[in-house]
Amino acid sequence: MAEKKIIAVVGATGAQGGGLIRAILDDTGGGFAARALTRSVTTEKAHDLARLGAELVTADVDDVESLKRAFAGAYGAYCVTFFWDHFSPEREVAQATAMAHAARHAGLQHVIWSTLEDTRQWVPLSDNRMPTLMGKYKVPHFDAKGEANQVFTGLGVPTTFLLTSFYWDNFIYFGMGPRRGPDGTLAITMPMDDRKLPGIAAEDIGRCAYGIFRQGREMIGKTIGIAGEHLTGAEMAAAFTRALGREVRYNNVPPGVYRSLGFPGADDLGNMFQFKRDFHEMFRGARNVDAARALNPSLQTFDAWLAQNKSRIPLE
């Protein structure tokens, strides 16, 4: 039997990487093996992956030598950074640079870089429709990822650039779920007006990435945008109403109000939603649902995701 191609997965115990690990291991005849990178092989999450059949290897994206060891002997790697753990775009670029160097050092044949748009290409710092943040960014957690694309390209790493979408899981973990308004009715709040927001089940990002690895060389150098569905706030609220069996409304607010909500990163997310609203044709055009489903036939719709996850959404 031919030896399996090893995919080294950064963030394996997390959302994107975890989906990829499970997709590789679900496809027993697919010819790929999963190497889960983690900072600690002793956690319950790491043990869960090992029980499924993943190889566990210690690595830290702040430590290029650990990445070189973890990528050694692999065919490919899934590279992702963790902005919300440290809120530093410069650190994100440094981590992406470390992964790109390690990928080149290991001679990897296919890397997927989980990226987003550098919004400054559409909203230069001089454009005052939204404030400049941290001195030189408009949407820090987007801009740093987009800026890092050139590092992979410049080092000659054979890379597919994966444009991800808003996780519906944010309604569970990111405090974006329905909240009770002054009249007691539940509502989701976003500054999207009536524009559609490309969204996806976080698990499906990794499952689409697996489809990209399966397609192989033809995907190198390409930018692939994925989403499970594009929905307006009102459409998402209607889906919540159907799933929960109680009214959920869409509460539209101006981006400036969202930026001032006061939680860490509210300004970054306010600018992000404004970018997605103001450039919706470009942003949606870059994220194709049919292409995502071709890569991942089990791609979930928002209704299907809600049916599976509604009990996990904290309701005030």
Write out the residues near ligand NAP by the rule CB under 6 A: 11, 13-17, 38-40, 43, 46, 59-62, 80-85, 141, 164, 166-167, 170, 174
Copy the structure tokens of residue 130.
Answer: 């939204």
CB of 202 to ligand NAP, least distance (A): 6
CB 184, CB 245: distance < 8 Å: no
Label residue 311 exposed, middle or buried (CB < 10 Å: 0-12, 13-18, 19+). Answer: exposed
> Which is closer to ligand NAP, CB of 85 or CB of 303?
85
Strands (E), 191-292: 197-200, 223-225, 229-231, 248-252
Select the residue whose beta carbon is closest to ligand NAP and give its number: 14
CB of 177 to ligand NAP, least distance (A): 13
CB of 154 to ligand NAP, least distance (A): 21
> Which is closer to ligand NAP, CB of 50 or CB of 247?
50
CB of 86 to ligand NAP, least distance (A): 8
> Which is closer to ligand NAP, CB of 203 or CB of 278?
203
CB of 142 to ligand NAP, least distance (A): 8
> Which is closer to ligand NAP, CB of 75 or CB of 166?
166
Amino acid at 203: E
> Which is closer to ligand NAP, CB of 90 or CB of 247?
90
**DSSP run (H or E) holding 106:** helix 89-106
The residue with tokens 């992964």 is: 99
> Which is closer to ligand NAP, CB of 17 or CB of 270?
17
CB of 40 to ligand NAP, least distance (A): 6
Query: What secondary structure letter does DSSP report for 221?
Result: T
Q: How far apart are CA 221 and CA 112, in angstroms?
A: 10
> Which is closer to ligand NAP, CB of 38 or CB of 271?
38
> Which is closer to ligand NAP, CB of 44 or CB of 218?
44
Copy the structure tokens of residue 284.
Answer: 């949606």
Return the ∠ at Cα 279 (arms to 277 and 281), rounded to 5°. Answer: 100
> Which is closer to ligand NAP, CB of 84 or CB of 314?
84
Query: What secondary structure letter does DSSP report for 245?
Result: T
CB 205, CB 17: distance < 8 Å: no
CB 20, CB 207: distance < 8 Å: yes
Q: How far apart are CA 100 and CA 78, in angstroms?
A: 11
Chain centre to alpha carbon of residue 200 = 9
CB of 59 to ligand NAP, least distance (A): 6
CB of 18 to ligand NAP, least distance (A): 7
Q: How far apart are CA 118 and CA 286, in angstroms?
A: 13
Q: What is the DSSP string of 17-42?
A: HHHHHHHHHH-TTSSEEEEEEES-TT
CB of 152 to ligand NAP, least distance (A): 16
